[in-house]
Structure 1
Amino acid sequence: MTPMTYKGYAARIEYSDEDECFVGHIAGISDIVGFHGDSVEEIRAAFHEAVDHYLEACAARNVPPNKPYSGKIMVRVSPELHARVAMIASARGVSLNALATEALEHTAQS
């Protein structure tokens, strides 16, 4: 499933049975920015409006907006696991980064 994106930001959207509408937040930033809509079209428009408003508000306050995910992940694993996966990557002729990316992509598609 591909997330809804706009200007480099991704939306996290859920359905609220209590409110009988879709409720969303900008994902991957520490600031809390929410939006809602009754249909896919409405939630998409509300998401775009929320991102635009967030960026405008940050500019007006002269504060840099939170950046979405950078693509860099720091993962701590045991030395034994590190050694095993490094050997697997070497045996496959790929970098440890490429092996980790493959594993993460596989997990994300599940």
Structure 2
Amino acid sequence: MRVVLAGPRPVAGAARQVEPPVHCCRRHDCAPFAQRLRQLERDGLVSRTYHAEVPPRVEYEATPLAKTLTPVFSSIVQWSSEHLGEVLVARAAYDAGKSAN
């Protein structure tokens, strides 16, 4: 959602901005990402604009409904930045326990 909240994006351009980036050098590479965008479109969170040009181009953009989620995402980002160290410590402890078994 962060990617489409930033403004209209073609599928390949949006895919490169997610973490980790999705590289759409071939059509099938973007299929799962495009499928997720279609699900968001169905939920009313993303609008899809098809441009009849050669080659065809499709852009996705956040709808007003999706933009109401901005404060929620901002809170998650804030929480993540404040607690990332704790999450990393927990992951390391978990991984260390798994490797000991």
Higher RCO (CA < 8 A, seq sep 6+): 2
From the two aligned structures, give the one with the greater helix fraction. Answer: 2
Normalising by structure 2, we get a TM-score of 0.25
From the two aligned structures, give the one with the greater strand fraction. Answer: 1
Normalising by structure 1, we get a TM-score of 0.24
